[in-house]
Amino acid sequence: MMGRVGIVAHTAFPKIGEVVGNVVSQLRSHGAVVYGSAAAFADVQPPLQPLTAETPLDWAISLGGDGTLLSVARTWAPKGVPILGINFGHMGFLTEVEPDDVSKALSQIDANAFRIEERSMLYAEVWRNGNRVETVVALNDIGITKGSFSRLITLSVYVNDTLLAVYPADGVILSSPTGSTAYSLSAGGPVVSPTVNGIIVTPICPHTLDARSVVLSDQEEVRVRVQATHRDIGLTVDGQLGIHLQVGDEVRVTRAPFSTRLIRIFQRSFYDVLRHKLQEHRRDWIEQEQEE
């Protein structure tokens, strides 16, 4: 299993440099060929093989928070590369392994004692004047929102060729089940188990009394037509990438033809993670704020 391993690290986290060196050392001791970017691993000796989007990998490691793993997934999931997430962030919905458990996790991977968990992704196209001008993939969500202007935008949402709703709103979120615990949840959307095959449509601050989130089959296409009296409109991908939209654009979203393949070491269910991350972590944050 070890083979060729690519490491992507978010170096802004405290003490991540120590873990990086430890991970590389252990991987090499297990016979792995390790790839990484020069900026993140400048102190590692001997130097790592350079990592690019075209590097052929057997698996990848994300060192950081869930945001780091989202970025890694968009690059490597289309190539079928399994990903191990090592958590340095607050939530850790996707990044299962804590820094103290790295040695155990790598040993279990070397012994082939792990499982692969498939997470569905979204594929989106932006159409303008009859032409496709952008394509993106997302693990969490596609957001279509107004910018800094306080004026609403109007979003006509179709499922296949049938009008679902017209939302005068700040925007709309099209989420995978994995993304249901992210932006969609904050906007009032439902929590959906990642084992469910679906696409969640959640309006953001709709100016209506009857707007609700809708969970659709992932076999359907969602089309969103954008209208506004201003030009400050954008599309966001996993909250990380931004694309400027124009009035009259249509965004078409379907399930992607590939999935994110997460390496799982521990026997934790989605509901254990949900309870811990959304309830117990919230208490930790409150206590920390009170101490400060």
135 by DSSP, 3-state: which? strand
Domain CATH number, residue 132:
2.60.200.30
37 and 146 inside one domain: no
Catalytically annotated residue among 66, 141, 170, 249? 66
Beta-carbon contacts of 211 under 8 Å, excluding residues fewer than 6 positions away, are 165, 167, 169, 203
Residue 170, classed as helix, strand or coil, is coil
Asked whether residue 96 falls in the same domain as residue 183, the answer is no
* DSSP 3-state of 140: coil
What residue has token string 């925007």?
171
Same-domain pairing of 143 and 249: yes
What's the total number of domains in the chain? 2
Looking at residues 28-36, what average pLDDT do you find? 92
The confidence score (pLDDT) of residue 281 equals 56
- Arithmetic mean of pLDDT over the chain: 90
pLDDT digits (tens, 9 = 90+) for 142-192: 999 998 766 899 999 999 999 999 999 999 999 999 999 999 999 999 999
* CA distances to 86, 101, 182, 292 from 194, in Å: 20, 24, 13, 36
pLDDT over 70 (residue 29) = yes
Extract the tokens encoding 240: 């990380």
Per-residue pLDDT at 285 exceeds 70: no
Angstrom distance (rounded) from CA 5 to CA 32: 7
Same domain, 229 and 126: yes
Whether 252 and 125 share a structural domain = yes
Pick 93 or 68 by higher pLDDT: 68
Residues 238 and 217: their CA atoms lie apart, in Å, by 20
Is the confidence at residue 122, as pLDDT, over 60?
A: yes
Question: For residue range 141-156, what is the model confidence (pLDDT) as tens digits?
Answer: 999 999 876 689 999 9
Check if 272 is active-site. Answer: no
Same domain, yes or no, for 126 and 251?
yes
Do 180 and 216 reside in the same domain of the chain? Answer: yes
Domain of 35 in residue numbering reads as: 4-114+265-291
C-alpha 201/C-alpha 184 separation (Å) is 8
> What pLDDT shows up at residue 42?
73
Do 218 and 129 belong to one domain? yes
Take residue 29 and report the two structure tokens written for it.
Answer: 């001791």
Query: Are 178 and 243 in a shared domain?
Result: yes
**Do 134 and 246 reside in the same domain of the chain?**
yes
pLDDT, residue 283, reads 56
Q: Identify the bridge partners of residue 162 per DSSP, sorted by sequence position.
A: 159
Specify the CATH number for the domain of residue 104. 3.40.50.10330
